[in-house]
Structure 1
Amino acid sequence: MVAYQRYVELSQSGDSEARGQAAHLAAMAYLKHRGPADEQAALYAALMNFLDDPSVKVRAALAYGLLHADHAPRPIMLALAQDAPVISRAVVQFSPVLLDADLMGIMRSGDPDMLAVMTVRPSLSIRVALALLRLGIPDLCVRVLGREDLEFPADDLMATADRWGDDARVRGALLKRRDLPGLARHYLVGRVRAALSDLRIVKGSVQPRRLERLMRNACDRATTAIGEREAGRGNHAFAVVLADTDQISTRVLLHALMHGHVLFFAECLAHLSQISRSKVFTLLDSGSRAALHAIFSRCGLAPAVRNLLARLVFHARKADLAEDLAARHFVVTVLIEELIVEHDGDIPPALDEAFAYLNEQNIELAREAARGVMPAFASEMPDAVMVPEVQGEAPLALPAA
C-alpha cells in the first residue's frame, strides 16, 4: 500500500526511475479505482501530467501500466501512440481502447514499423485488415493473410491473388487460407506452374517433355480437387468460369471421374448441357448408356469421347475410384485394352488426348503399385536365387554416359 504523500514524493523526484515508479502506481490506481469521482479526476490528471515527462522511461512506465486495460483513458493512449517508437509500437500492438478510426489515422502516417505491429494486434477488425492489404506492401500482405481469425471477402482475396500472384511469399500465404475462393486458388496454381517451369534448377534437372507432363498432371489434379471442394460447398461459379473460358477439356473430365471427383464432374456436365444438377446426378447414378450418351452429346463431346466417358461412368459405379488405387489402375488398364481392341489399334484422332491421358495414368499407377513390392518379396524369401550364375559369359559393358 502506497500513501498519496509517498506518491507525490516519487513523482517529484529528480530520478527518472522514481518518477517511472510513480507513473506506474498512478496507472494501477486509476484502473483499480472504485471511489469518489473527485479522486478519479485527480488520478486522471496525474496520468496526464506524466505525458509531459522528459524521460522516455517514465512515459513507458505509464504506457505499460495502461497497455492491456480495456478502460484505459483513450486520450492518453492516443497520445502515447504518437510517442517514442518503443512506446507507440507497444500501444498500437496491444491497446484495446484504440478504435478502427484511430488505427486508420495511424496507418496514414506510413510508418513501416507501426504498420507491422498493427497486423499482430490481438483483435484486428476486417476493416483495418483490408486497409492494410490494400496498401500494396508484400510484407504486410503476408502478415495480414496469416491471420486465421479473419475471414476476408472473396472479392478482396481475388484482387490480392491477381495483384500478387507472382510474389512467392504472398502467393504461399494466400494458398494457405481456407477461405481462398476456388478461382483464386486455381489462378495461383497456374502461377506456381509458371514459376517452377521458369526456374533454372528445374529446367536443368528435368527433361522438358517430362517436366511438361508432370506440370500438366499436377495442374489437372489441382483443378479437379479445387472443383470438387467448391462443388461440395455449393459454389457453382468455379465450373461455370472454367467452362466459359474453355478450360474444361476431355482430359479434365476424365481426370475428375477417374479420381472420384464426381461433384465437380457433375457440375461441369450440368453447365455444359444446361440440365439441372439433380437430373445429372440421377443419370450418373443410374442412367442407361443411351441416357449418358444423350447428356454427353448436349455437352458437345465427340461420339468417341462420349462412348469412353459412358464406359468410365459404368466402371465408377462399381468401384471406389477416389480411394482405391488398385481399382483405378484396373479401370485404366481395361479402358486402354477396350479402345485398342475396338479400333484395331488405330485410335481415332478424337481420342488422341484421352488415350494419351489414359497411358500416362497407367504408367503412373503402375509405378505406385510397384513401389515396395520387391523389398517385401525379398524379405519373405531372402535365400531365393534371383538369377542363376552363368559360366563363361562376358560382363555387360555399358557405354559411357
Structure 2
Amino acid sequence: MYIEKDTFVGGCEPVAARVVRAAQLARQCIDQLQSDHARAHADAALTLLLDDPSPKVRMSIADVLSTSVHSPLHIVTALAADQPEVAGYILARSRLLSDADLIDRVAYSAPSMQVLIAARPHVSFAVAAAIAEVGNNEAVAEMLFNSCARIAPVSFRRISERCGHDAVVREALLAHPHLPAECRHLLAVKVGEVLQSLPLVKLLLGQRRADKVVGDATARASMQLAENCSQEELPALVEHLRLRGEITTSFVIRAVAGGRIDFFASLLGALSDLDDRRICAIISGGRPAALAALLRSSGLSDATHAPLIVAIEAWRAVAAGRKRMGAAEISALMCEAVGGGRFAAANDDLAALLRSIHLEFMRETAGDRLKAIPAA
C-alpha cells in the first residue's frame, strides 16, 4: 500500500533519505495539480510522519507546508506546537494559523518563537496585545520595529509599563510613529527611575538630591511632550498625568511660566468641573476676579493666584503683540508677584519654586542665545 511503502518501510531508511521522502510527500500534498486521491494519501502519510523520531524529517515537512495556503490545517497546527526548530518555520511563515493559534504559541512557546511571531508579515491587534502582555523584551522590540504590526494604544501603554526599563525597547518605542504621548511620558519616568537606581548617582548626589533632580527633569520632559503632542492627544496626556497624581501645584505653575497655555487650560479642565470652552474663555479674556475664581475652583491655593494671574496677563499681551517677552521675563514677574504683600511671610516654598523656575528659564535663554551666535 502507498502509506506502507512511503512511511512504514521508509522508517527503516537513513534520516537523510526520510527527509527527502517527507519533503516529496509535503509537496505532493499541496500540489493542486495532483488528484484528490493522491493528495489524500500524502496527507495521511504526513500525519504518520509527525511521529518520526528525527526532528529533521519534521523540519522538512514544516519548511514546505509553511509556504502554502493549501496545507492540511491539522498538520500545520501540530507542527506549530513542535519543538522550536520545527515550529519556527510554521510560526514565521504560515498564513493558516489563526490569531487564537498565534496567541496560544505566544503564551506557551519559547522566547525565540515569540520573536518569530512578532516578525511575521502580518501581526494583528490581538496578537500584538498578547506579545505586549507576555512577550519577552526581544520579541516586543521586534514587533515594534515590524512596520506590518498593528499595535493599539493600550498595547503601547502596556509595553511601556512592562518593558520601559529596557534600553532596546525604549529605543524602539520612541522610534515608532504612532506612540501615544502618555507612553512617551511613561518612558521619561522609566528613564528617571533607572537613573535614580544607579549607585554612582546616589553616591554623587545623595538620595534626596537625586530624587529632586530626576523629578525636575521629568517635569521638564512632560512640558516638552505637551508642547510637541497634537491637540487630539493632549486630553489623553492630561488624564494620564492626573491618574498618576502628577498634576501638582508646582507642575501647573511651571506650565504657565513656560507659556504652555493650552496645556494649562487642559490641566485646569482635569482639576475642575468646568467646561473646556468656559475655561479657555476665562484664560483668554477673563478679568482677574474671574481668573482667581477659576484657579480656586481647580483647587489651587490663594497663594498661587497672584503669580499665575500676572503670568496669564503677560502671555495675553505677548499673544496680542503688545509686549515682547519670553519665559525668563515672565517668570521674573511671577517672582516679583510673591515678593511682597500678605503672602510674603508664609510663601517661602512658593518663592523658592518660582526662583528655581526663573533661573532654569534664564539658563535656557542664555543657551539659546549662544546657539544663535554664528561660528567665527
The two structures have a TM-score, normalised by structure 1, of 0.69
1:150 partnered with 2:150: yes
Measured in 2, the distance between the counterparts of 1:207 and 1:312 equals 34
Amino acid at match of 2:286: G
Alignment correspondent of 1:89: 88
Question: RMSD of aligned C-alpha atoms?
Answer: 4.5
Q: Which residue of 2 aligns with 1:392?
A: none
Shift of 1:235: 6.6
Of 362, 367, 373 in structure 2, the residue corresponding to residue 366 of structure 1 is 362
Report Cα offsets for 1:63-114 as digits up to 9, x if no partner.
2122222232212223333445422222223222122343455456554444
What is the distance in 2 between the residues matched to 1:150 and 1:15? 45
Change (3 A) 1:350 1:170: farther
Structure 1 pair 326–218 and aligned structure 2 pair: CA distance change class (3 A): farther
Q: Residues 254-265 of structure 1: matches in 2 within 5 Å?
A: 254-265=253-264
Structure 1 residue 266 displacement after superposition = 0.8
Single out whichever of 362-371 and 102-111 deviates more from structure 2: 102-111
Does residue 220 in structure 1 map to residue 219 in structure 2?
A: yes
The equivalences for 1:306-345 within 5 A come to 306-319=305-318, 327-336=326-335, 338-339=336-337, 343=340
One-letter amino acid of the structure 1 residue matched with residue 267 of structure 2: C
SS of 2:76's partner is helix
Match of 1:172 in 2: 170
Counterpart of 1:193 in structure 2 is 192
User: Could you tell me how far 1:30 is from its partner in structure 2?
Assistant: 4.1
Name 2:3's counterpart in structure 1. none
Matches within 5 A, 1:50-199: 51=50, 55-106=54-105, 109=108, 111-135=110-134, 149-152=149-152, 154=154, 164=162, 167-168=165-166, 172=170, 176=174, 186=185, 189-199=188-198
Q: CA deviation at 1:182?
A: 6.1
Q: Which has the larger radius of gyration?
A: 1
Give the number of the structure whose residues are more often helix, by fraction: 2
Distance, in Å, in 2 between the alignment partners of 1:174 and 1:379 is 35
Counterpart of 2:344 in structure 1: which amino acid? P
What amino acid maps onto 1:217 in structure 2?
A: D
Equivalent residue of 2:150, what SS? coil
SS at match of 1:330: helix
Q: Residues of 2 paired with 1:330 and 1:171: CA distance? A: 40
SS state of the match for residue 68, structure 1? coil
Aligned to 1:292: 291
Residues paired across the two proteins, number:
364
Match of 1:215, SS state, is: helix
Q: Residues 136, 54 of structure 1: CA spacing in aligned structure 2 closer, same or farther, 3 A cutoff?
A: closer
In 2 relative to 1, CA 70–263 (structure 1 residues): closer, same or farther, beyond 3 Å?
A: farther
C-alpha separation between the residues in 2 aligned to 1:129 and 1:226? 25
**Code of the aligned partner of 2:340:** H
Structure 1 residues 190 and 350 mapped into 2: Cα distance closer, same or farther (>3 Å)?
Answer: farther
SS in 1 for 2:326: helix
Residue 275 (str. 1) matches residue 274 (str. 2): yes
Q: 1:250 to 1:14 in 2, by over 3 A?
A: closer
Structure 1: distance between partners of 2:234 and 2:368: 40
Residues 198-213 of structure 1 aligned to structure 2 (within 5 Å): 198-206=197-205, 211-213=210-212
**2:103 and 2:163 mapped to 1: Cα distance?**
27
Q: How far is 1:278 from its partner? A: 0.6
Q: Go from structure 1 to structure 2 and tell me whether the alpha carbon gap of 1:151 and 1:289 turns closer, same or farther (over 3 Å shift).
A: same
Task: Report the Cα offset of residue 282 of structure 1.
Answer: 1.7
Distance 1:184 1:310, change over 3 A: same
Determine the C-alpha separation between the residues in 2 that align with 1:205 and 1:291.
47
Inter-partner Cα distance in structure 2 for 1:369 and 1:105: 55
Matched letter for residue 196 of structure 1: L
Superposed displacement of residue 137, structure 1? 5.8
Q: Please report the TM-score for the alignment, with normalisation by the length of structure 2.
A: 0.73
Unaligned runs of 5+ in 2: 1-5
